[in-house]
Amino acid sequence: MSLVRLNIKGISYSQTQNGAYALILNEVDGDRKLPIVIGAFEAQSIAIALEKEIRPPRPLTHDLFKNFADRFDIVVKQVIIHKLVDGVFYSSLICERDKIEEIIDARTSDAIALALRFDAPIFTYKNILDKAGIYLKVNPTKDEDGEETNEDSILVDDLVASELEPDAPRENYTSKTIEELQNLLDEAVANEDYEKAAHIRDEISKRQ
């Protein structure tokens, strides 16, 4: 069976399962998306790994695993989503130590959180993508400058931005100075309010 490489498109709040999130994986050489329902803790851990500039004051569970693996020279080489049974995805960590390869069973959400920390590629089998992959509507449209944009990308990005916390208003940081924003960012990270930290980080990035 042939492997298909995936990357992470985004995370959105699940409208069908309370307290759950949908991790959206994208086929690297194609248009299909593979949505996987994950828990809030795993969604937070993946989001933190994606946000390189946000560092928790204490290591999260997946960070602890990474530190442990580094100490004992264990490397996660790749993650393979290898099975789908009754809507549940099963994954394996392909690990290596002293040139000896081991395969370790893992929940898909944990496997992807670790793949991000090890910069390991994520794969699934073609038959799983054929079975569970979806196509989001793709209609090239033109932006204000007349350039074509991919509506598929806009749909997913809007989904992630608007559904992660659908009822939570965002604070307006435009009146804050860079120094004030940096202090707020440090405070948000210390309080483990990573969503707020991401919004502040975005405001800082826009001004630099």
CATH code for the domain of 34: 3.10.690.10
Number of structural domains, the chain?
Answer: 2
Q: Which residues, at least 6 apart from 36, have a Cβ–Cβ distance to it below 8 Å?
A: 22, 23, 25, 89, 108, 109
Instruction: Look at 188 and 81; give whichever has higher pLDDT.
Output: 81
Q: Which neighbouring-strand residues pair with 22?
A: 12, 37
Domain that holds residue 34: 3-135
As a whole number, mean pLDDT of residues 131-145 equals 61
- Ranking 45-49, 101-105, 183-187 by mean pLDDT, the lowest is 183-187
**In a shared domain, residues 13 and 106:** yes
**Average confidence score pLDDT of the chain:** 80
Q: What is the pTM of this model?
A: 0.70
Domain membership of residue 165 (yes or no) is: no
pLDDT band at 71; cut points 50, 70, 90: very high
**In a shared domain, residues 59 and 113:** yes
**In a shared domain, residues 131 and 174:** no
Quote the pLDDT of residue 192: 66
Domain membership of residue 162 (yes or no) is: no
Examine the fold and report which residue of 135, 151, 178 is the final residue of a domain before the chain moves on.
Answer: 135
pLDDT at 104 over 80: yes
pLDDT at 66 over 70: yes
Closest CA to 53 of 156, 182, 163: 182
Measured over the CA atoms of residue 111, residue 114, residue 120 and residue 122, the dihedral's sign is positive
pLDDT at 148 over 50: no
Residue 24 has phi, psi (to 5 degrees) of -105, 115
pLDDT at 53 over 80: no
